[in-house]
Amino acid sequence: MDYTPLKYVYKASGNHEAYTLLLLHGTGGDENDLIPLAEDFNLGFNILSVRGNVSENGMPRFFKRLGMGIFDEKDLEFRTDELVAFLKEAAIKENFSAAKIIALGYSNGANIAGALLLKYPGLLAGAILYRPMLPFKKFTAITANSNTPVLFTSGQHDPTVKAADTDKYLELLRTAGFNVKDHALNASHGLINDDINLAHEWFKEHFTL
């Protein structure tokens, strides 16, 4: 398959046993947006921050959409495969374990992270989904059988995400075998301190070095 290389920033921890935190930005962001957040966690992880290959009116995204909240699911599948191919190549190039990747995605980045979980359920060691939307309207997830931990935070006042779709998404993830901890926060689409604090707790529970 003819994939386009993704632009990225990689920061090695110096520990060969470390997990790698895969950072996936929201619409209009880039590979630098989430690095300060990741560094504030002070986890001793490698950091791999990626820029989406799609441009929407000059704004980077990870996949195309047909309208607000309407995904181009064919392109989403292609871009998910493209990201997986990139991760396998980057793991070799940067010398990190492809079996120890934890995704942290916000908005559009959370959506492609969710697509990774559903389409490649054994790929990620864990995932944080900030303000995610159901990636595929009709999708039968492959059973993970791994109890992979997932932190899922939604905003109770988020105008971009329907509560019914969030419920369907959570059910789909749990049915597929993921260990999902979900929180509906008193927030809109933007991140708040609770998102960060919950991630701190989640990391301590599941990923201590």
Catalytic residue at 158?
yes
Please give the Cα distance from 10 to 2 (Å, whole number): 23
Question: Which of 25, 107, 154, 195 is an active site residue?
Answer: 107
Of the residues 165, 188, 189, 206, only one is catalytic, namely 189
Which residue pairs from 155-159 have beta carbons closer than 8 angstroms and sit at least 24 positions apart in sequence? 155/131, 155/184, 155/185, 155/187, 155/188, 155/189, 155/190, 156/184, 156/185, 156/186, 156/187, 157/186, 157/187, 157/188, 158/131, 158/187, 158/188, 158/189, 159/188, 159/189
Determine the longest span between alpha carbons in the chain, in angstroms: 44
Q: Which of 158, 165, 183, 194 is catalytic?
A: 158
- Our answer to whether residue 107 is catalytic in this structure is yes
Would you give the DSSP letter of residue 12?
Answer: -
What is the Cα–Cα distance from 130 to 145, expressed in whole angstroms?
23
Instruction: List the structure tokens of 29.
Output: 């962001």
Structure tokens at 163: 């509560």
Q: Catalytic residue positions? A: 107, 158, 189
